Amino acid sequence: MTDSRRRTALSQNRASTPVHLLYHIRVTSPHSHTPTLLVHGGAWAIPASEAAAHQAGVRAALQTGHAILDRRGSALDAVEAAVTVLENDPTFDAGRGSFLTSDGRVQLDALLMDGGRMRAGGVACVERLRNPIQAARLVLEQSPHVYFVGPGAEAFAAAHGMPLIANAELVLDRERQRLALARQRQAAGLADETFSGPECQPPGDGSISTPRQHPSDPILRDDKSPETAFHPATPIQKKGRPQGHDTVGAVALDIHGNLAAATSTGGTLNKTPGRVGDSSLIGCGCYADNLSAAVSLTGWGEPIMKLVLGKWATDRVAAGTSPEIAAREAIAYLYNRLQGHGGIILLGPDGRFGLAHNTPAMAWGIATPSGLQTGLTV
């Protein structure tokens, strides 16, 4: 058959195919991909006294999640497992040890998204679940819906085998003390410095640092980006200032070429009960699509939500921007447009990735078959 006849036959086949079937195409290439896992443990003003705990927690999550990828497991299983480890570690603002609401309770939000099947599951304002990311997985797999909140989310999880616990099991005395200090600061009219730090503000141009594409690679630079990265020193901790922690997340690429993303949080300190941030909202704090990228964000949720920043970043990857540049652009956009503070991990379907933050620090880690690396700035 000549080339012209082949093209004619292909056009005829497409014309005779029902429209709804044209979209049921394979969105992953058949060749093997390099399994890659990125995680973050929150972007904020991490004090030196908590640095080791943050890196140890991130490393444990990487080891658990990447072991699944090494066994040819799915990206979805890997990010769920990694985030479960972080939820179980009270170092982080997810699961046990999370920030308290203004009335002294823990309310948790989480989202999980499968970029191959374009399925997602989310829960918000849950108070009786130890691992909200596992409840999000149940929503993704077992429900025609995408999102459950409050008692409805807890009832759905319980109906599918998750045990319900007393909210008090999630509350630590450390967090009660933090809440008391936050109330004092609020009454005194002092600003919340959890994300920006007391002594550090990012430059007006939103300059941030550039990620490495592999643990052994040198820092990359781009002609369009400022060469001088924003690397603030560990902030001085003022007496009486409550220490914070923040959202956790993971993105992964498996050997089959599928992407997945997961984000989980206890929200912000002293938040109004019922408040939902960006973490569990599709396209805001979490998103995954094999045709673009997988992303998880951390930081001050309200500006991230207003900009739908996760989708903003993945759309740029889909349009041809490299993930390392798209990550920096996203955080610069967050600050320049709404003076927001936060961090991002971004992973493309070809294994390239980006990390960025404009907070004094962000706990992060990456694992590939070549090795594992963690850090507190990028």
Enzyme catalytic residues: 247
Burial class (CB in 10 A: 0-12, 13-18, 19+), 252: buried
3 state DSSP class of 93: coil
* Residue of 324, 180, 178 whose CA lies nearest to 246: 178
Give the whole-angstrom CA distance, residue 152 versus residue 131: 16
Integer Cα distance of 267 and 275 in angstroms: 8
Count of CB atoms situated within 10 Å of the CB of 311? 18
Can you read off the two tokens belonging to residue 174?
């450390």
**Alpha-carbon distance 261 to 277, whole Å?**
17
Q: Which pair of structure tokens corresponds to residue 65?
A: 């999640």
On whether the CB atoms of residues 162 and 144 are closer than 8 A, the answer is: no
Q: Which of 326, 357, 323 is nearest to 343 (CA)?
A: 357
E strand or H helix at 58: helix 48-70
> Could you tell me the CA-to-CA distances from 302 to 167, 198, 299 in Å, in that order?
25, 20, 9
Q: Is 140 helix (H, G, I), strand (E, B) or coil?
A: helix
Residue 78 CB neighbours (<10 A): 32
- Asked if 304 contacts 278 with a C-beta cutoff of 8 angstroms, the reply is yes
Contacts (Cβ under 8 Å, ≥6 apart) of 258? 28, 74, 75, 76, 114, 115, 116, 290
Q: Is 102 exposed, middle or buried (0-12, 13-18, 19+ CB in 10 A)?
A: middle
Backbone phi, then psi, for 242, in 5-degree steps?
-70, 135
Q: Residue for token digits 């706990």?
A: 363
| Inter-helix orientation angle 309-318/323-338, to 10° | 140
